[in-house]
Structure 1
C-alpha cells in the first residue's frame, strides 16, 4: 500500500510537518506513513473552517441535504478501498460484522442524516404577536474520533454538523488515521473548500483542538478520562460539547430467556468488533437457573468463530487494535483468574505476530473484580450469577457508567418494566448494542453528555434563536 496520505486543509492536500507509522495489528507490519500536523497547521485548518463558515451556513437546507446525500454516494463508490484500509489499520475482518459492514453503516447513516429536518417552530402566532424558534449553526466544530470504528464514527460526527450549517476540523485517532485521511480527500469532491478539514497526529493535537478558541464545539467519542479533559479545556471559551464516552453495559438474563432464539444476539452483543465497542455488553448477569446453560451455549458458539487476520475470508474476529488495549485485556483476565473466576474458553494470548487474544468467557465472576467493575473493551466477558431481581438491578446500576443495557426475557411486558429501571441511555430487549440512525443515542452518568443520531442528534449542532415579532 502506498504512503501517499495527506492532511486536508482548505480543500487542498497538504503534507504534515512530520510523519508517523501506522501498523497493522494483525502482523505488526507498517501499513503506511501518516502525516502529523503541527500546531500551525491546526491553526490553518481552523482558519479555513472559519473562513468557509458564513458561506456554508448561508446555503439552503435543501442544498446542504443534497451534499450530504452525495457524500453517501461517494463513500459507496469507494467502499471496497475504504473497507480494506480499515481492516489493515484497525484489524477487524472484511467480512461479517467487520469493515465492509462498518462502511455500509457509514453510508446508511449519511443517507439517513440527509433526510433529517429541523423546521422552524411557531410558539405563538395570533393577534398578540408572533414568536418563532429557529435552529442556527454553531460555527466551527472540532471532531475527535476513536480507533474502533474510524470511518463510521467520523460520519456520525461530521454529517449532522455540516447539514446543520457548521464547518468541521476532524482529527482521527493516531492508531487509525489512514481511512479517515482518505475519506477527507474523497469528500472534497462534494464539499466547498474549508467545510471539512482533516488533520492527524498524536493525542496532543486533540488536546490543542479542545483548547483552541477558534473552535466553537467539540464532539468527542472515547474514554471517560479523556472526555473529562476535553470538557475542562473547553471551559475556557464555553465550548459546546457532545461527549460519547465509555460504557460498562450490563446484560440481565432472566429465568425465562429464550436461549434457542437469542444466543447469537447475546454473543455478538458482547463480542462485536472484538468487544471494542462502547455499547457492547461488558458484564453479563445470568439467573442461577440458566447460568450453566448460558455458559455452555456461549462457549459452544465461540468454538465456531474464527479469530484471525481480517484479510482472510473465514475470519470473523480480528486482533485487538493496539498494544495498550491488548495488555489491558491480559491484565484484567489474569486478575479475574487469580480472584477465582473460571476460564471457560480463551484466556491466553495467541503465539506469533499480531495482537490476537481469543474469545474469553469467565464464569464465577463477581462484583468487585476489576473485569466486572471496569470497562475491558476487548474480547473477554465476565458472567455473574444472580438469584434476586431487585438485587441484580441495583448491581447493574451501581456502575458510574450509563451507556447501554439489556434485558433478556420472553415476557416483553416485564422486560420493558425492568428496562425502564436501568440507569443508562439505551436499553435493548433480547438484543444489545443495536444502534440505528433514526433513534437517539447517548449516555448518562459518566458515559457522556448530549445525544447523537436522529433529529435530536442533529439539534446538538445548533443553537436556538427565538424571534419575537
Structure 2
C-alpha cells in the first residue's frame, strides 16, 4: 500500500488527513493521498509565486535542458509510473494502456522541450523598430482529470515550465498517486517552488474552485467536463485569469456509402473504445449510410467480441473497467435507456464490479440519450442515415465540438465533408489520433484555447510589444 505526500516548495509535505485510492478492477486499497486544506493550497501558491521571478529569468537554454532531463526521468521511472496508473485508474498495462500512456507523456514532453517562441520583428524601418515578445504569466494552476492522469499532467506542466511559469497542479481525487509520484521526481530537478502539487477528495475543501478564484494564480489550464469547466470560467472571471479549457466532446463519425466495412472496422472500434471509451476525443456517435449499415455493424461486432477485458494488471487484458462508480452508473443509465429504443448488437449487460463490456447498439437517432449525452464509456450508438446532408446536420446538432471523423475510400470527398463539421479536429479514416505538433482544442462548448505545438505553448504567455 502506498502513502504519498505533497510536494510544496521542493519539500515533501504530509497532511493531517488522507483519503483512500482504490483499484477499480478489484476494489482493493491502493494507497492514501493527502487531503490538502485551503492553507496548504495557499502555501503552494505562495511558493510558486516566490519562485517565479528567478525561474522566468532563467536562460531559455537552461530551462530547455531541464525539460529534456524531465523526459529522461519519465523514461527511467516508466514501469513504476505505469503500474501506478493501472492500479488507480484501471486501464491495462498493455494495448493503449498505462505503458502507452507513459510513452505518450514522454513523447509530448520531448516535443515540448524543443519548442521555442522567438522574438518577432514586426517593423524595422525609418519609422521605428517593433518587436513582439512572449512573456511568462506567473503561477499556472493545472486541474487534471482521471482518464489519463499522467499524460494530461505532462500536457499541462511541460509547456508551463518551458515558457518560464511556475505551477501548482491538482489531480483528480480518483487518480492522484501517479501524478504525486511524477511531481516528486520532476520537482527534484527544479528549483524549489517551481512545481508544486496539492490533492484532496473534494469533500470538505473544493481545491479546484479555490484555485480558479485565487488572486495569485494567473492562468488555469483545465481538462474535464463541460459543467466543471464552466464553473472554472465563472470563478476565474473576477481575476481575469488566462484560461485553457479542454472540456467534453460527443464526437461524431460519419461513414460514407463507399467505405469498406471490413477495412475500417478495427479503426472504428479503437476510435470509439480507446481507454474504454473514457477519452474526450473518442468517437461517441457513429452515423452509417443505410447501404452499408448492416455490414459495418457486423464487422464491428466481429472485431469487438475478441477484445480481452479484465484486470489491468493482467498482461493479457486490453480493456479494463470503468474508472469509478459515478461514471459506471451514468453509462448504465444511458445503455439501459438505449436498450428500450434500439437493438443491442453486443454487450449491454454489466459485468462484476465496475466492468462493462464493449457495447454496440443500433437503431438509435438524435434525441435518444445515448446519442445526445456523452457516455464516456464503452458503449457506441450506431445511427443509420440515408442522406449525407442530414447526417452532417445531426453530427453538428449538439453544443459540443471537440472532434469528428469521416470514413470513405474517396479522400477528397471525405475532406470536403470534414471541412463542414463543427469541431476542432477532424480525422479521415481514423478518429482521435492527436499528436504533439498539432494544436488540439474544441469549438462551441467543448472548450477555450488550444494545447500542443507552438500555438499551445503560446497560451502560457502574454504578448509584449516593444516600440523603439
What is the TM-score of this pair, normalised by structure 1? Answer: 0.98
Deviation at 1:29, TM superposition (A): 1.1
| Other structure's SS at 2:466 match | strand
**Gap runs ≥5 in structure 1:** none
CA distance in 2, matches of 1:383, 1:97: 23
Matched, 1:365 2:364: yes
Within 5 Å, give how 1:300-339 maps onto structure 2.
300-338=302-340
Contact 2:24 2:88 in 1 (8 A): yes
2:247 to 224, 245, 251: 245
Per-residue CA deviations over 1:294-337 (Å, capped at 9, x if unaligned) read 11111111111011000111100000000000000100000111
Q: CA RMSD in A?
A: 0.7
| Other structure's SS at 1:71 match | helix
CA distance in 2, matches of 1:137, 1:257: 48
Deviation at 1:44, TM superposition (A): 0.3
| Other structure's SS at 2:363 match | strand
Partner of 2:173: 174
Deviation at 1:259, TM superposition (A): 2.8
Contact 1:17 1:38 in 2 (8 A): no
**Gap runs ≥5 in structure 2:** none
Partner of 1:404: 403
Partner of 1:23: 22
| Other structure's SS at 1:436 match | coil
Per-residue CA deviations over 1:67-87 (Å, capped at 9, x if unaligned) read 111101000000000000000
Partner of 2:453: 454
Q: Which moved more, 1:153-162 or 1:57-66?
A: 57-66
Matched, 1:93 2:95: no
Partner of 1:345: 346
Contact 2:262 2:299 in 1 (8 A): no
Matched, 1:116 2:118: no
Deviation at 1:342, TM superposition (A): 0.7
CA distance in 1, matches of 2:68, 2:386: 50
Partner of 2:270: 268
Per-residue CA deviations over 1:363-396 (Å, capped at 9, x if unaligned) read 1111110110010000001000011111111110
| Other structure's SS at 1:365 match | coil
Q: Which moved more, 1:251-260 or 1:166-175?
A: 251-260
CA distance in 2, matches of 1:446, 1:32: 36
Deviation at 1:2, TM superposition (A): 3.0
1:228 to 227, 230, 234: 230
Within 5 Å, give how 1:45-56 maps onto structure 2.
45-56=44-55
CA distance in 2, matches of 1:59, 1:467: 21
2:287 to 276, 285, 288: 285
Contact 2:35 2:199 in 1 (8 A): yes
CA distance in 1, matches of 2:233, 2:326: 24
Q: Which moved more, 1:388-397 or 1:440-449?
A: 388-397
| Other structure's SS at 1:55 match | helix
CA distance in 1, matches of 2:260, 2:73: 42
CA distance in 2, matches of 1:261, 1:113: 35
CA distance in 1, matches of 2:249, 2:113: 29
Partner of 1:209: 211
Deviation at 1:137, TM superposition (A): 0.3
CA distance in 1, matches of 2:304, 2:266: 10
Deviation at 1:257, TM superposition (A): 1.1
| Other structure's SS at 1:406 match | strand
Contact 2:167 2:195 in 1 (8 A): yes
CA distance in 2, matches of 1:163, 1:304: 43
What is the TM-score of this pair, normalised by structure 2? Answer: 0.99
Deviation at 1:206, TM superposition (A): 1.0
